[in-house]
Amino acid sequence: MASYIVKRVLRSFITLFLVVTIVFCLLRFMPVEGYFNNFDKMTPEQIERQLDARGLNDPLPTQLVRFYNDLVHMDLGESIKYRPGVPITEILAQRIPMSMLLGTISLVLALALGIPFGRLMTRYKGRIPDHIGTAFVVLIQAVPAVVYYLFIQMYGTSLAGLPLLFSRTNLATYVLPIISLAIGNIAYYAMWVRRYMIDESNKDYVKLAIAKGVNSRTLMSKQIFRNAFVPLVQYIPTSLILTLVGSIYVESIYSIPGMGGLLVKAIQMQDNTLVQALVLIYSFLSIIGLIIGDIAMTLVDPRISFGKKGGAR
Amino acid sequence: MDKDTIISVKDLHVKFTLRGAILNVIRGISLDIHQGESIAIVGESGSGKSVFTKTFLGMLDSNGYIDSGEILFRTDDSGSDESIVDLAKFTTEKEWLTIRGRQIAMVMQDPMTSLNPLRTIGKQLEETVLLHHKGMSKEDAHKRAVQLLTDVGINEPERRCKQYPHEFSGGMRQRVVIAIALACDPRVLICDEPTTALDVTIQAQILKLIHELQQKLNLTTIYITHDLGVVANVADRIAVMYAGDIIEVGDVNEIFYQPCHPYTWALLSSLPQLGIKGEDLYSIAGTPPNLQMEIKGDAFAPRNPYALKIDYLERPPFFDVSPTHKVRTWLKDPRAPQVEPPETVNRLGEGRL
């Protein structure tokens, strides 16, 4: 297993290198106008000087080597346009904790509600709780997220009287963003838990367990649920890690100083260093999430083992 | 109900609702199963063999139900009438838990999928042991699990206990399934096509194992199969099913050598062993009846070359051929014309099987 993980990590580094390099090069092909706020009023000499100063006129390989050299020294550079002169790490250090905090709470909430909902729907399959649950899942999946975000905002502030604008120190302002972030995941987990549990309960081993006299309650919780949860285990680490990406809509609705939309803004502003740093971080985290997910799978499912061939049927 | 009868089914009707229609899947079966015997239920796919035995465990699919009839079951060997329960009246899971596993156990068709893939073999056995011996210690349950694995012929049971199903071959898994079935000392063992998913050499081993265990534990075994070769080796009695009814029942020799129902003739004629080189193998013309329709008369009549007029009008009663041999066909009525079984069936008597 150890050698498998080493191989996996090395391969991930290659992926990461490719992603970052490609994005780096693509950014360099953008028109130079984007680098300046008052491009029209600048003389060609001024432009050239600026580009030279930022190293943008150097040959691509030189720029690339410089970037990786800085990276090895843990230097992500400074923002060039979003907040000129401020180190990227500082910008991230301010914003990441907020997004992660809200994201993690909402994910925990989603798991804590979505899983029991899914189990309830399975237990009452084809009856009223299942129909209500299915209606909820379909509604959430079908309606664009922005629409129910706005509904939550409207009714949350007018009926429940919760504050609209986010404030770090006022816990009441956390409620609406967390609900908004969680509601989609609640539907997601309820749907998949239900689906996998129903799949499992139609399997032969469940029939054998019934025939040998296991009562249905024990069977549901100890065997069907556990086995149904295996495929979900793989995705939980990724979803947890990716909470730091934040949510564009939710964070902008409630003015939360998080990561949501930062990448989009950085790309629009052609803030190369910021884009590079964000792409690097997001890819790195996704890859880590997948590796952890795969390792988690081997822990819960004995049929899956790393390295050995033909372990599973 | 006789003292040596363990299960007595009386005029059992099972129906299924399917997309608004009602299917008459079991149409008035009556059958006595004797304590300690080995009976095989044979019939083609869709004849209702599995559904019939599932009613003994309350394991019909959710759209199926017992419409009428009785399934009397003797819950102990005392022979007293108090020990008789009617399984057809059971409604709650609590009632069924007194039967499942500890009275009637089941071995299913496909050992590859019959075990929980995420639990060790030992755990699955111990769980079963503990289900029916409440208060037994973990160590004792483990000892019993090891003993059970030894009983079904698995080597190194201690090591095997720690393994998962995917580390076992098909035949070995079926042995484990049998061990699980026997974990609670059941009195009846239903084997639903126990060897269909196994290769031929393993088939023989598994059948031998079930047979030995049956002798040793004085089990009543019910085999469900469409393989008459399997039946010939293991069964004391055979019940032939067609379209949800038992149309002929008798000792093995009676069914093989003096079959009386035209369907049994047709079934036996289809045995590839009876084919003649160069000639096409026999197959029964037509298809089984649509179970949505009310079947009038003998269900086999439309496919039966020997059908009489009355076969289309009235359901034949059981005629006794011998004290152990009963058949549902008007051909056995004293008024019916004498019909000889086809030539192929007579070849069975020459010991071709």
Residue from B93, B104, B116, B175 to probe the interface with A (highest A Cβ count within 10 Å): B116
The whole-angstrom separation of Cα A17 and Cα A23 is 10
Tokens of B120: 């060790």
A positions 147-206 inside 8 Å of B (CB) = 203-205
Nearest to A204 among B97, B114, B180 (CB): B114
Q: Which residues of A touch B118 (CB under 8 A)?
A: 226-227, 230, 300-303
CB B183 within 8 A of CB B125: yes
Residue from A123, A199, A205, A221 to probe the interface with B (highest B Cβ count within 10 Å): A205
Q: Which residues of A touch B184 (CB under 8 A)?
A: 212-213
Is B131 a domain residue? Answer: yes
Does B336 contact A at CB distance below 8 Å? no
Per-10-residue mean pLDDT, chain A, length 313: 84 91 89 79 85 84 90 84 87 90 94 95 92 95 91 89 86 91 93 95 93 90 91 88 84 88 86 88 90 88 71 41
Closest CA to B15 of B83, B56, B64: B64
Backbone angles phi, psi at B237, to 5 degrees: -130, 160
The whole-angstrom separation of Cα B265 and Cα B271 is 10
Q: What is the pLDDT of residue A307?
A: 63
CB A94 within 8 A of CB A88: no
Q: Helices (H) and strands (E) in chain A — how many of each?
A: 14, 0
Tokens of A237: 């680490």
Is A22 a domain residue? Answer: no
Do B186 and B98 share a structural domain? yes
Is B258 a domain residue? Answer: no
pLDDT band with cut points at 50, 70 and 90 for residue B1: confident
Q: What is the pLDDT of residue A151?
A: 92
Is B114 a domain residue? Answer: yes
pLDDT digits (tens, 9 = 90+) for B89-125: 999 999 999 999 989 999 988 888 999 999 999 999 9
Is A134 a domain residue? Answer: yes
Is A243 a domain residue? Answer: yes
A49: β partners: none
- The one-letter amino acid code at A111 reads L
**Last residue of one domain, picked from the residues B213, B235, B257:** B235
Nearest to A213 among B108, B115, B132 (CB): B132
To the nearest whole angstrom, how far is the Cα of B208 from the nearest Cα of chain A?
22
Q: Quote the number of domains for chain B.
A: 2
Exposed/middle/buried for B323, CB within 10 Å: 0-12, 13-18, 19+?
A: exposed
- Tell me whether residues B59 and A227 touch, CB distance under 8 A: no
Over range B152-169, report the average pLDDT. Answer: 94
Does A210 contact B at CB distance below 8 Å? yes
Domain that holds residue A212: 96-260
CB A301 within 8 A of CB A230: yes
Buried b (16+ CB within 10 A) or exposed e, B75-100: eeeeeeeeeebebbebeeeeebbebb
Q: What is the dihedral of CA B224, B230, B233, B238, to 10 degrees?
A: 40
Q: Is B84 helix (H, G, I), strand (E, B) or coil?
A: strand
Domain that holds residue B118: 5-235
Does B332 contact A at CB distance below 8 Å? no
The whole-angstrom separation of Cα A92 and Cα B310 is 90
Backbone angles phi, psi at B302, to 5 degrees: -65, -20
Task: Please report the DSSP string for B16-58 in residue order.
Answer: EEETTEEEEEEEEEEEEEETT-EEEEE--TTSSHHHHHHTTTT
Q: What is the pLDDT of residue A7?
A: 87
Is B316 a domain residue? Answer: yes
Q: Which residues of A touch B115 (CB under 8 A)?
A: 205, 208
The whole-angstrom separation of Cα A246 and Cα A242 is 8
Buried b (16+ CB within 10 A) or exposed e, B10-41: bebbbbbeeeeeebbbbbbbbbbbbbbbbbbb
Do B92 and B192 share a structural domain? yes
The whole-angstrom separation of Cα B333 and Cα B298 is 14
Exposed/middle/buried for B262, CB within 10 Å: 0-12, 13-18, 19+?
A: buried
- Tell me whether residues A223 and B119 touch, CB distance under 8 A: yes
How crowded is residue A288: how many other Cβ atoms within 10 Å of its Cβ? Answer: 15
Do B227 and B296 share a structural domain? no
Is B246 a domain residue? Answer: no
- Could you tell me which residues come within 8 angstroms of residue B229 by beta carbon, excluding any fewer than 6 positions away? B271, B273, B353
Is A49 a domain residue? Answer: no
Is B253 a domain residue? Answer: no
- CA-nearest residue to A205 within chain B is B114
Do B176 and B285 share a structural domain? no
- The secondary element (H helix, E strand) that includes residue B67 is strand B64-74
Do B115 and B36 share a structural domain? yes
The whole-angstrom separation of Cα B44 and Cα B244 is 11
pLDDT digits (tens, 9 = 90+) for B242-298: 999 999 999 999 999 999 999 999 988 888 877 788 888 888 888 888 888 888 889
Cross-sheet strand order for the sheet of B325-327: B104-107, B188-192, B220-225, B38-42, B237-242, B245-251, B325-327, B319-322
Do B205 and B96 share a structural domain? yes
The whole-angstrom separation of Cα A211 and Cα B57 is 7
Nearest to A301 among B106, B118, B131 (CB): B118
Instruction: Report DSSP state, residue B75.
Output: -
Q: What is the pLDDT of residue A308?
A: 56
Check whether B87 has a pLDDT greater than 70.
Answer: yes
Q: Which residues of B touch A302 (CB under 8 A)?
A: 117-118, 164, 166
The whole-angstrom separation of Cα A50 and Cα A48 is 5
- Tell me whether residues A211 and B93 touch, CB distance under 8 A: no
Does A226 contact B at CB distance below 8 Å? yes
Do B201 and B57 share a structural domain? yes
Instruction: Report DSSP state, residue A126.
Output: T
Nearest to B101 among A213, A302, A313 (CB): A213
Do B222 and B284 share a structural domain? no
The whole-angstrom separation of Cα A31 and Cα A45 is 17
Nearest-5° angle of CA B199, CA B201, CA B204? Answer: 105
Tokens of A247: 């949510």
Instruction: Report DSSP state, residue B280.
Output: P
Over range B298-307, report the average pLDDT. Answer: 90
pLDDT digits (tens, 9 = 90+) for B4-61: 899 999 999 999 999 989 999 999 999 999 999 999 999 888 899 999 999 999 999 9
Backbone angles phi, psi at B23, to 5 degrees: -105, 130
To the nearest whole angstrom, how far is the Cα of A215 from the nearest Cα of chain B?
7
- Tell me whether residues B166 and A230 touch, CB distance under 8 A: no
To the nearest whole angstrom, how far is the Cα of A206 from the nearest Cα of chain B?
8
Does B127 contact A at CB distance below 8 Å? yes
Do B218 and B96 share a structural domain? yes
Does A3 contact B at CB distance below 8 Å? no
The CATH number assigned to the domain holding A221 equals 1.10.3720.10
- Tell me whether residues A209 and B116 touch, CB distance under 8 A: yes
Check whether B146 has a pLDDT greater than 90.
Answer: yes
**ipTM, two decimals:** 0.87
Q: Which residues of A touch B113 (CB under 8 A)?
A: 203-205
B positions 15-44 inside 8 Å of A (CB) = none
How crowded is residue A80: how many other Cβ atoms within 10 Å of its Cβ? Answer: 21
Return the CA Rg of chain B: 21
Question: Which residue is listed with tokens 């019940």?
Answer: B239
Q: Which residues of B touch A215 (CB under 8 A)?
A: 93, 97
- Chain A to chain B, count of Cβ pairs less than 8 Å apart? 77
Q: Is B249 helix (H, G, I), strand (E, B) or coil?
A: strand
pLDDT digits (tens, 9 = 90+) for B201-233: 888 889 999 999 999 999 999 999 888 877 888
Nearest to B116 among A210, A227, A300 (CB): A227
- The one-letter amino acid code at A142 reads A
Does B72 contact A at CB distance below 8 Å? no
Q: Is B322 helix (H, G, I), strand (E, B) or coil?
A: strand
Q: Quote the number of domains for chain A.
A: 1
Nearest to A205 among B93, B100, B115 (CB): B115
Does B224 contact A at CB distance below 8 Å? no
- Could you tell me which residues come within 8 angstroms of residue B38 by beta carbon, excluding any fewer than 6 positions away? B211, B214, B220, B221, B223, B234, B235, B236, B237
How crowded is residue A154: how many other Cβ atoms within 10 Å of its Cβ? Answer: 11
Nearest to A216 among B93, B113, B119 (CB): B93
